[in-house]
Amino acid sequence: MQVNKPLTLRHNFSWTFIGNAVYAACQWGMLVLLAKLGNPEMIGKFTLGLAVTAPVMMFTNLQLRVIQATDAKCQFQFYDYLGLRILSTILALVFIIIIVLGVNYPPNTALIILFVGLAKAVESISDVCNGLLQKSEQMDRIAISSMLRGALALLLAGVCLSLSRSVLSATIGMLIAWIIVLVFYDLGNAVGILQQPFFNTTISSSNWLRIVQPRWHGKTLTQLIQLTLPMGIVMMLISLNTNIPRYFIEHYLGERELGIFAAIAYLMYAGQTVEAALGQSASPRLSQYYTDGKKNAFINLLLKLIGIGVLIGVIGIGIAGVAGKEILKLLYTADYVQYVEIFVWIMVTMMVEYVASFLCYGLIAARHLRVQVPLFITVTSTSAIACFWLVPIYGLKGAAISLLIATVVRAIISGWLMVHAIHKLPTMSSPEVS
């Protein structure tokens, strides 16, 4: 069987956008179900589960998928990435258990956090399988995986929620859905890439498992950890930057206000489907341009990404300003209408976030990884200081402004680092980690 050819950048973007849009819509649909069938407190509990587990999972994921997809020189193999992902995911679950026990959450809240962590652990294995496809620029299969995970999770979580009115049961439904997609779709895709005759030949279960068997070679794992650890720290800091306002809201204002803020803020994250689609589709090409020393091509593609992001951000701000009340009432309930100003602030943050994120995609493609650690330490510190100052005084508005301040700082510093990386390009024979 012939190996499938990489799709064009336009087709990869289209597939990735559709996949991310469906996935984000389904994840947002879970919040809508919690709002319609429950109350803001239920959204707050679910959001707290995400807020507690996300920084841990983002750290231990080590941004392996992006590193894998941009490994233009094939320095490591899929089996190495899978082996490291399994080890790091087990470590993440241990950390989450320690956090739950240490903070002494109420039993129901603790169980929600643990099952969210388990669901994210399963998703992380799917993620490294998709990294293999992304490197081959076959984003259509990744998109299908995202759509399956989103739709099935929404279906099972919705059924569980409607029957029990329990956030915990909805979370368990999400976990079951992601296990099904991993076993019956994502692993099969990985096998198909690694051994093309699989699709024409009937092989035993043991052989199927051997094809995707992880590899734990000490020296190789050490090298891979050294490469990816800075990005793990960076992704943890990015997650903390996103979730720090939620920690402060939960502490000062309670779970109800946290649920309201999370529901509104998710509209920003849903809007990031375009950003993610563009960034993921363009990453392999950006990496190749940088590796080949094609400076103009690298700059032009990066500027196109940033320009599209700014345009979409401006449209989002306009929609929030003109029809924000109607949107919040339609999507959630009348309780959210009074928070339209928060909606506008969130959309402004989204526009700046697009610029900052695309610049970071460029830095990763250029293998400028370690410099992002001090960048995000600065950003996260800025977020914490702003929240400490603004949330107790201005409430949810203070949290939204704090998020914007931190994102602006990220965009400015990322821009400066990107200029440095581009200036360094002509004298480089190959990308280096700096």
DSSP conformation letters of 241-282? HHHHHHHHHHHHT-HHHHHHHHHHHHHHHHHHHHHHHHHHHH
Whether 70 shows a pLDDT value over 50: the answer reads yes
Q: Residue 67's pLDDT is what?
A: 82
Per-residue pLDDT for 197 more than 60? Answer: no
**Rounded CA gap, 89 and 62, in Å?**
10
Say whether 432 sits in a helix, a strand or coil. coil
* pLDDT attached to residue 318: 92
Q: Interhelix angle for 218-252 vs 78-103, to 10°?
A: 30
Q: What band does 14 get if pLDDT is binned at 50, 70 and 90?
A: confident
Across 12-21, 183-192, 339-348, which has the greatest mean pLDDT?
339-348
Distance CA 260, CA 257 (A): 5
177 pLDDT above the threshold of 90:
yes
Burial (CB count within 10 angstroms: exposed 0-12, middle 13-18, buried 19+), residue 24 = buried
Task: Output the average pLDDT for the chain.
Answer: 84
How far apart (Å, rounded) are the C-alpha atoms in residues 194 and 407? 39
What confidence tier does 205 reach under pLDDT thresholds 50, 70, 90? very low
Distance CA(69)–CA(336), nearest Å, equals: 40
Give yes or no for a contact between 370 and 63, defined as CB atoms under 8 angstroms apart: no
**Residue 82 in tokens:** 């899978």
- Phi, psi torsion values for 296, nearest 5 degrees: -65, -40
- Tokens linked to 217: 């070679």
Cβ atoms of residues 185 and 145 within 8 Å: yes
Average pLDDT over residues 162-186: 92
Higher-pLDDT residue of 262 and 213 is 262
Arithmetic mean of pLDDT, 94-114: 90
Residue 175 neighbours by CB distance under 10 Å: 22
The pLDDT value given to residue 15: 80
Cα angle for residues 203, 209, 214 (degrees, 5° grid): 145
**pLDDT of 32:** 85
Amino acid making up residue 31: L
